[in-house]
Structures are given as C-alpha cells and as structure tokens.
Copies of this chain bind each other. A is one copy, B any other.
C-alpha cells in the first residue's frame, strides 16, 4: 500500500549547482511520512501530544536525478518494516514527468517524551500502521 503527497521545490531549497541541496531530501521524506499519517487519519503532532516522540536513527538516500527549482515533486511513502519499537519507511521522489529522482529509507524509534527512554509504539498507533501495512 502506498501513500502519495506532492510539494513544490522552493528557491530556498536549491543551491548554486541549480538543484535541490542534497541535505533537503530528509525534509521531503519528513513531508512524505507526516502526510502519510494524516491520510491514515492521525498526525505526527497527535503522536507527540500523546507523549511519544519518533527520532530518526538511520537514513539512507540514493540520488538518481537532480530535482530542480519549481519542480512539482511526488513523494510516495510506504512502511517497509514495523516491529513495535521501530518503523522503517521508504520514500520514492519523482517529478512531473514521472522520472524517479530519489529513493530514501529512514528508521525511526519510539521515545517517551518525559523519560527520553525508548518505549513501545502506542497500541492505537501499532494498529493503525498494521492495518495499512500488514507485516508477515
């Protein structure tokens, strides 16, 4: 199952090479996964308000073609793995011509906002993820 969101490349996000700065894809991944949660009926803000934070512990980015200023990008997000204590997301970024520009993966863990210790995914969140991405 896939979720898609679109965003337009800002001038601020380009660099003197004329393309999107390579560090900005992490932000695009954020937009993709946050919008996936919204499309599922919740939000990352809601998760944080329930006392859980999800820091990123690993990221991998493959840059295939450059994204350019003013490009309307589509970010396709999916959950690759879910263990109850960590989630691995995959992102595919493509442009309006359908060209695949970038593929990324991030692993996030659950942290208790008060103790700053690792914790388990809240039950409602686990159920939500597994409904859309049944793991085997």
What is the interface of chain A, defined by CB distance below 8 A to chain B? 10-12, 14-19, 21-27, 30-31, 34, 43-45, 53, 55-63, 66, 69-70, 106
Contact = CB atoms under 8 A, between A and B. Distances in A.
A43 to B, nearest CB: 6
Contacts of A26: 12, 21-23, 26
A14 B14 CA distance: 7
Contacts of A17: 16, 53, 55
A10 B109 CA distance: 19
Contacts of A27: 10, 12, 23
A87 to B, nearest CB: 14
A23 B12 contact: yes
A21 B16 contact: no
A97 to B, nearest CB: 15
A57 B63 contact: yes
Contacts of A55: 17, 19, 22, 63, 66
Contacts of A30: 10-12, 23
A70 B58 contact: no
